[in-house]
A and B are shown apart, each in its own frame.
Chain A
């Protein structure tokens, strides 16, 4: 594809429900990042995948958050038992490794927990 694709673009869910957010990175990009952008706050790192290496999960805010990346391509971020403070824009980025390269960002998924 031409860029990083995220779906859905908007998601409204009830407190306590589980949600899955999807990211399709640019083909051939082995590095994939998830960030969270909350109103009035900066961009918060969540998790990083690089090829077949163990992901860097150091940014996940609680054990309600998890992510996987299947086949080194598509990634899914899952939030269980959503809370109102989970409301934010969730951004995915991918990057080609093997040199100095920049990250390409998706348009994000706006999650609203009501």
Chain B
């Protein structure tokens, strides 16, 4: 079975700090990879996605993620966070014959003004 690990459960940063959230997955075949964000009181929204091609993908609001196949990783980055980035971030995978989307446990990001 596929699994997704997000090692940072709660990250607290000051505004303008750089962000990197880790995501590692277990599936060895071709995977689709996603980062979703859930702002307080809102539904899950897509930040960015990777299907194939350039392993560095850019998403909305200045976020980017890099797919490193050899490390089974898809870490999320942002050079300078804002208070409005306070939210919970989820890494998802969908691969092979697995039709379901597999979620990581989520990382709560708190950005202090």
Partner-B contacts on A (CB < 8 A):
3, 31, 33, 35, 41-43, 45, 48, 50, 56, 58-59, 91, 93, 100, 102-108
Contact = CB atoms under 8 A, between A and B. Distances in A.
Interface string B44-62: 1110010110000000000
Nearest to A35: B103
A31, A33, A41, A100 interface centre (most CB from chain B within 10 Å) = A100
B29 to A, nearest CB: 14
B102 interface: yes
A43 B103 contact: yes
Interface residues of B, number: 21
Interface in B33-88: 34, 36, 42-46, 49, 51-52
B106 A43 contact: yes
Chain A at the B interface: SS class: strand
A5 to B, nearest CB: 11
Contacts of A58: 100
Nearest to A6: B43
5 contacts: A43-B90, A45-B101, A45-B102, A100-B51, A102-B49
B14 interface: no
A59 B51 contact: no
A103 B32 CA distance: 12
B6 to A, nearest CB: 9
B104 A42 contact: yes
Contacts of B49: 100, 102
Contact of A33 (B32, B51, B101, B105): B101
A104 B103 CA distance: 14
A53 to B, nearest CB: 9
A56 to B, nearest CB: 6
Nearest to A105: B44
Contacts of B46: 102, 104
Nearest to B105: A42
Contact of A91 (B34, B42, B44, B106): B44
